[in-house]
Amino acid sequence: MGAFGHYLSAHFATLRLEFWGLLVGGLANGFIYAMVAIGYTLVYGVLRLINFAHSEIFMSGGFASYFVMKAIIGTSVPSGLASVGLVILGILVGGTASAGMALLLERVAYRPLRKRHAPKLAYLISAIGASYFLFNLAGKEFGRYNLSIPSPYINHTVFTIFGANVQMYYIVILIAGVIMFVTLDRIVAKTKLGRSIRAVAQDAETASLMGVNIDRTIALTFIIGGIFGGAGGFLFGLGSGVVYTMGFTPALKAFTAAVLGGIGNLRGAVIGGLILGVAESFSIAFVQAAFIDVVAFAILLLILLFRPTGILGERLGRSA
């Protein structure tokens, strides 16, 4: 067995020993990636565009929840029902702030261009400009250093799986993610709003002729994507803190997850997020921590080369 064979053998042994712990952590990260990926895939579905300012929508939710948690919790450590209420409040605050930011972005950066039938490149430039503006505004107003969100619960090991510790943080992400994803899936599949979103994604012109309000549907799509991005910003901030640069890497990974699952497909975004989170976590057994982010982008490159439509494939439609 050569040197490379010994390398693989040793690192696969490490993976076997740490499998369950890496799986739990990977699934937690995957749920956050999936939340952010929902925003990308929704906007792409109705506009056929990538919202490159979604990273700042994610960031705005993190900062909004930070200020609310700081004002309510301070230096105390809540427990019991108070913790449950504060987690729900943090998700609602983060989601609401990001939804407002997403709606503002749609009104300022996208809608005027749609009304003028601007070329796709104009949307891209507008989104990048909005992202850069919000990025620097947050750095100026909130400081350029990491801020820790006061924890609304005591982060302890709740139980173990084959020796792997499952912390309260992971359980919060799991419960929040499952509830939000199932709710959105039912909304899109069963409600009038969901039918409008699917109709616009399939054929905006025909949907308009059938009485669908295109502007309202697109605005609500941005709002829903913002809610998920803001909730993800709060949950991410609980583990890593908030800073004006916090949206860049998670958003790029979420975009990778959306492409992996099939951008334009909601269930694909969730599947892609979970797969990416687990793959990234397992890579810890093979590469140094500094190279973990490279794994996500290597996956993106491979997807684009060999299966650009993703696992579930996109749902094709025309631009709104």
Cα dihedral: 188, 190, 191, 196 (round 10): 50
244: buried, middle or exposed (CB in 10 Å: 19+, 13-18, 0-12)?
buried
Task: Calculate mean pLDDT across residues 78-96.
Answer: 92
Residue 27 inside a domain? The answer is yes
Residue 205 inside a domain? The answer is yes
Residue 4 inside a domain? The answer is no
pLDDT, position 103: 95
Pairing state between β 164-167 and 157-161: antiparallel
Residue 315 inside a domain? The answer is no
Task: State pTM to two decimals.
Answer: 0.90
CATH label of the domain that carries residue 127? 1.10.3470
Structure tokens at 301: 């490159």
pLDDT band at 4 (very low <50, low <70, confident <90, very high): low
pLDDT, position 75: 80
pLDDT band at 120 (very low <50, low <70, confident <90, very high): confident
Structure tokens at 114: 């749609």
Summarised one tens digit per residue, pLDDT across range 130-145 is 999 999 999 999 988 9
Residue 5 inside a domain? The answer is no
pLDDT, position 22: 86
What size, in residues, is the chain? 320
Residue 11 inside a domain? The answer is no
Instruction: Name the residue range of residue 35's domain.
Output: 18-306
pLDDT, position 20: 81
Residue 1 inside a domain? The answer is no
Q: How many domains does the chain have?
A: 1
Residue that has been written with the tokens 């057994």 in this structure = 285
Selected residue with higher pLDDT from 270 and 3: 270
Summarised one tens digit per residue, pLDDT across range 203-253 is 888 888 888 899 999 999 999 999 999 999 999 999 999 999 999 989 989
Q: Report how far apart, in Å, the C-alpha atoms of 191 and of each of 72, 167, 185, 187 are.
A: 36, 36, 10, 5
Residue 319 inside a domain? The answer is no
Summarised one tens digit per residue, pLDDT across range 258-295 is 999 988 889 999 999 999 999 888 888 777 777 777 88
The yes-or-no verdict on residue 319 having pLDDT over 60 is: no
pLDDT, position 294: 82
